[in-house]
Amino acid sequence: MDEQPKSKKILWIAIAAVLFALIVGGLYFMTRGGGNGPAESGTALFGDLFGGGERPVTTEETVPVTPTPNTITSDENQGEDPLFRQLSIGPTAGATEVMREGKVYVRYILRENGYVYEVDPRTGVSMQLTNTTIPRIYEASWGESGNSVVLRYLTQDPLSKKDVIKTYLAYLNLPVADTSTTLTLGTLVGDFLPDNISAVSVSPDGKRLFYLLPIPEGVSGTVVTIATKSAREIFRNSFSEWLPELLNDGSVILTTKASANIPGYSYRYTPSDKTLTRIVRDKKGLTTHANTTGSAILFGENIGGNMTLNFYSKAGFAGHEGVLSHEETLPLTTLPEKCAWAADMIHVYCGAISGTPRAQIPDDWYKGTLAFADSFWSTNIETTEIDLIGDPQKLIQRSFDVTYPFMDKNGQYFFFTNKSDSMLWVMQFPKRVQSDNSELLPPDLTPEEMKDALGSMPQATATPKK
Partner 1 sequence: MNRFIRIILSVLFIGFLIPTNAFAAFGLISQKLTPPTPGPNQEVTIQLNSYNVNLNAAKIIWYIDGEAQKEGTAETSFVTRTGDFGEKKVVDVVIFAQDGTRFDKQIVLAPAEVDILWEALTYTPPFYKGKALPTYKSLVKVSALARFNTETSDPAAYYYKWTLDRNKGVGEALGKNSTVVAAAWPDSHVNVAVETSLPGTDWKGAKNLNIDSVNPQVVFYEQAPLLGIRFAQALTSGLVATGNEFTIQAAPYFFSLDNYKNGELVYEWTANRNRVLPTLDPLKLILTKSSKAAENFIVSLSVQNAKRVIQEGRGQTTVSFNAEE
Minimum distance of partner 1 from residue 455's CB (angstroms) = 39
Closest CA to 96 of 141, 35, 151, 152: 141
Cβ atoms of 363 and 259 closer than 8 Å = yes
Q: Pick the closer one to partner 1 by CB: 103 or 274.
A: 274
Is residue 399 involved in binding partner 1 (CB under 8 A)? Answer: no
Q: Pick the closer one to partner 1 by CB: 157 or 385.
A: 157
Is residue 165 involved in binding partner 1 (CB under 8 A)? Answer: yes
Using a 10 angstrom Cβ sphere, with 0-12 exposed, 13-18 middle and 19 or more buried, the burial of residue 171 is: buried
Binding mask 408-437 for partner 1 (x = CB under 8 A): -----------xxxx---------------
Residues of span 79-108 touching partner 1 by CB under 8 A: 91
The span from the CA of 94 to the CA of 425, in Å, is 12
From 85, 107, 111, 208, residue interacting with partner 1 (rule: CB under 8 A): 111
The span from the CA of 34 to the CA of 38, in Å, is 9
Residues of span 246-305 touching partner 1 by CB under 8 A: 256-259, 261-263, 265, 267, 273-276, 278, 281
Residues of span 120-159 touching partner 1 by CB under 8 A: 135-136, 138-139, 152-154
Residues 9/15/21/23 CA torsion (nearest 10 deg): -120
Q: Pick the closer one to partner 1 by CB: 111 or 208.
A: 111
Minimum distance of partner 1 from residue 243's CB (angstroms) = 6
Q: Pick the closer one to partner 1 by CB: 261 or 329.
A: 261
From 9, 239, 433, 452, residue interacting with partner 1 (rule: CB under 8 A): 239
410 contacts: CB under 8 Å, gap ≥ 6: 104, 343
Closest CA to 190 of 50, 34, 92: 50
Cβ atoms of 3 and 11 closer than 8 Å = no
Q: Pick the closer one to partner 1 by CB: 203 or 403.
A: 403
Is 348 in a helix, a strand, or coil?
Answer: strand
Bridge partners of 117, per DSSP, are: 108, 128
Q: Pick the closer one to partner 1 by CB: 93 or 396.
A: 93
Q: What is the CA radius of gyration of the chain?
A: 25
Length of the chain: 466
Residues that bind partner 1 (CB under 8 A): 91, 111-113, 135-136, 138-139, 152-154, 160-163, 165, 218, 237-241, 243, 256-259, 261-263, 265, 267, 273-276, 278, 281, 362-363, 366-369, 371, 403, 419-422
